[in-house]
Amino acid sequence: MLKLLTILFLLCAAVTNGQESLLVLQQAVDSALLNNPDLNQAKALLSQKENEWRTLTGIEAPEISYFEEGINSRAAKPFEERRWTISQSVDFPLTTIYRIKGVKQEAKALSFRVRALEKEIESQVKSRYIEVLYALHLQALGKQQRELADELYNAAYTRFETGMGNGMELLNAELQVAEAQNVLSESSRLLHQARYSLFYLMGLEIAEINYQIQFSDTLSSKVVEIKQIQALAVLQEQPLYVAALYDYQASQNKLKEAKSNILPDISFNLYKQNYGDGFSFNGFEVGLSIPIWLPFEQKGKIRMAEARQTEVEWQQKSIELDMKQQIEHAWHSYESSKQIIDRYNESMSAKSQKLQQLSLKAYQLGEIDLLNLINAQQTYLINQKRYLSSLRDYYLQLAQLEKFLDQELVY
């Protein structure tokens, strides 16, 4: 509770103090683990499943009854027998054992699914935070594109006024300004979409969401220096995979429970009897239920349990294949993005910026036409966008790999 109040205090500080509040990545993750609606629903379901076994002990509520026999008000002895009875029925013990084992294994499976959901939400929060930063940087690039478009328009207008240019060049420059404005509008849309997606994962109330919430401009990461096979080697340690194993064990016990239903249930009756001189006699009765309807009822339960076991086996195979696919995709995308980022930092950034600056001067001097200047600007902007996109993918794949490597890679 203290952690929750601390996080909410940080988020609402901007409103109460009239200042901007900074939401760092770890605060977003902590808020999601406390307040995410889907996660809290899963935890509530887990609590239900963990207590379900108490309702499946096979022990029915005892029944107390009163009995009179041979009643005749005209006879000297007005009744033949009076009896107080306590009745209790229970399932066959072996059936109860299998049933409870199955439910407890289902609870364990669900607990690992909750853990998997926690890791998934951590990854999603980091991914949404990365998307917010990407949109912010894209917005900054859009402003830079607008500035370049304004420079291009001013240069084209100057050439038009001095007679060195023509109306087509000026019209083309106006279109470049309009396109830059479109890029700004699109980046603003992406920013709002990423913000509210992040706030939903964090479980923020509507009143807590405001435009004063700011985001850390940079992220730190650990370089993953592991082989692909090492990433795949942790497959059997994944919570979803372990959950499937417990589901399979639960299905085995459910099948055993269904088969054990052919064994008779047991009932007990205890009597306190009165034959006319007080309740001085005792009696008892033990009964066994005979499963004469086995071909109809119990056989159907056995077939259902066998089908459930087959379903869980294929579910386990599906989880295994899906995880392998996700790990391989995240690994290869991470490697590709890292190569693009390194290549950009080593040479492309400086060269494209220099080309753009030289082209503007050359156009102003009449050494090149407008199309060459636009091409140089587009080359610069495309390189910038590809760099931002690769940086975004780089961090996104690290956030994805976190789920499988069980270590913090983005912070």
State which amino acid sits at residue 214: Q
Residues 288-309: what's their mean pLDDT?
A: 78
59 φ, ψ to 5°? Answer: -105, 110
Residue 306 lies in a domain: yes
Contact 109, 246 (CB under 8 A): yes
Residues 149-160: what's their mean pLDDT?
A: 82
So what's the pLDDT on residue 45? 93
What is the DSSP secondary-structure string of 184-200?
HHHHHHHHHHHHHHHHH
Length of the chain as a residue count: 411
Q: Higher confidence at residue 262 or residue 293?
A: 262
Tokens of 18: 């009239």
So what's the pLDDT on residue 29? 92
96 dihedral zone (left: phi>0; alpha: psi -120 to 50; beta) = alpha
Q: Higher confidence at residue 228 or residue 362?
A: 362
Residue 411 lies in a domain: no
Residue 131 lies in a domain: yes
Residues 189-207: what's their mean pLDDT?
A: 85
Tokens of 298: 């119990």
So what's the pLDDT on residue 18? 40
Residue 103 lies in a domain: yes
What residues pair up with 233 in beta bridges, in sequence order?
none
Q: Alpha carbon of 119 to those of 30, 47, 319, 336: distances in Å?
A: 12, 19, 16, 24
Residue 39 lies in a domain: yes
Q: Which residues contact 405 (CB under 8 A, 6 or more apart)?
A: 224, 226, 231, 234
Residues 172-180: what's their mean pLDDT?
A: 86
Residue 38 lies in a domain: yes
Largest Cα separation within the chain, whole Å, is 138
Q: Which domain holds residue 31?
A: 2-405
The whole-angstrom separation of Cα 394 and Cα 406 is 18
Mean pLDDT, the chain, integer: 81
State which amino acid sits at residue 236: Q
So what's the pLDDT on residue 153? 84
So what's the pLDDT on residue 110? 94
Q: Which residues contact 78 (CB under 8 A, 6 or more apart)?
A: 71, 72
CATH number of residue 357's parent domain: 1.20.1600.10
Tokens of 399: 């956030």
| Least reliable range by pLDDT among 2-16, 124-138, 161-175 | 2-16
So what's the pLDDT on residue 13? 39
Q: Alpha carbon of 331 to those of 240, 402, 407: distances in Å?
A: 20, 11, 15
The pLDDT tens digits for 71-124 are 877 777 777 888 899 998 888 888 888 999 999 999 999 999 999 999 999 999
Residue 410 lies in a domain: no
So what's the pLDDT on residue 9? 36
Identify the DSSP state of 264: P
What is the DSSP secondary-structure string of 29-51?
HHHHHHH-HHHHHHHHHHHHHHH
The pLDDT tens digits for 209-238 are 666 777 877 677 767 665 655 665 577 788
The pLDDT tens digits for 237-285 are 888 888 988 998 998 898 888 888 888 888 889 988 888 788 888 988 8
The whole-angstrom separation of Cα 173 and Cα 168 is 9
The whole-angstrom separation of Cα 237 and Cα 84 is 59
As for how many domains the chain has, the answer is 1
The whole-angstrom separation of Cα 179 and Cα 148 is 12
Q: Check pLDDT > 50 for residue 17.
A: no
So what's the pLDDT on residue 365? 73
So what's the pLDDT on residue 275? 80
Compute the CA torsion angle 248, 250, 255, 259 (nearest 10 deg). 150
Q: Strands (DSSP E) along 24-99, which ranges?
A: 63-69, 81-90
What residues pair up with 23 in beta bridges, in sequence order?
215
Tokens of 163: 């007679």
Counting residues of the chain whose pLDDT is more than 90, the rounded percentage is 16
Angle at 136 between CA 132 and CA 139, to 5 degrees: 135
So what's the pLDDT on residue 15? 38
Tokens of 112: 């690992």
So what's the pLDDT on residue 231? 60
